[in-house]
Amino acid sequence: MMLASIAAFGQTADASPDADGVYAAYNGVRPARLLQATAAVIPPGAGLATGKHITTLSMVIGVDGTASRIEVVSAQKSPLDDAAIAAVKQSQFEPGTLDGKPVPVHAFVWVPFLDAEHPAIPVAGPLRRLNDFTMPKPLKTVEAEFSDEARRKRISGSLLVSFVITEEGLPVKLQVLNPLGAGLDEEALKSVRQYRFAPATLEGIAVPVPLTVEISFHLGGRY
């Protein structure tokens, strides 16, 4: 019998950079840390008339601790997003490291615009340590199938799929971090695309978050 299953929400593969030389913060890669956050300046006329807003940003933290390739990940765009980006650019980060050496890493930062009484100060992970933050909860997972090529060649192993869970609980921006080949990467992506989640929340508001899941393909018995 051949089995392909979700092993865990975990991290077991060797760390390697993506095509742009940027690392994901897993397995030996220490994530960048937000050392000193600069509060966002709300521009005139861009207040909070519609209530709270949280800008979610993805970026790369370079070896010098500066943020680049900043992208708004929030589905609901706002005039406040530019203020959030400006605040992150002025904030100070400690770069991520691999084997004690600085490396460029992917990072997420949230900038909560709550009300006129609270400054909009950027916050960053680890996710479980953020105040007023709830992790996403899996509602539906789908087992990955073996590819025909992997079945013929008797190939097995584990891989990691990184993705972003949207405010609607959908997985987007999927990427295999440590490919196995033989069609197994495609099967893993196919299964993760079908996952559904109760989204993460910050200050009671649904926000996008990054997540990594381990998919294990195991060969068993005779065929």
Architecture of domain 2-16+135-219: 2-Layer Sandwich (3.30)
d(CA 57, CA 7): 29
> For residue 45, what pLDDT is reported?
66
Regions of the chain short of the pLDDT cut 70: 1-14, 45-50, 127-128, 220-223
- Tell me whether strands 133-134 and 200-202 are parallel, antiparallel or unpaired: antiparallel
> For residue 131, what pLDDT is reported?
74
- What are the pLDDT digits (tens) for 153-177? 998 899 999 999 999 999 999 999 8
The domain locations on the chain are 2-16+135-219, 32-124
> For residue 209, what pLDDT is reported?
95
Identical fold, 2-16+135-219 and 32-124: yes
- How far apart, in Å, do the first and last CA atoms of the chain sit? 7
Q: Which CATH class is domain 32-124?
A: alpha beta
d(CA 184, CA 215): 10
d(CA 50, CA 80): 12
> For residue 221, what pLDDT is reported?
44
> For residue 10, what pLDDT is reported?
41
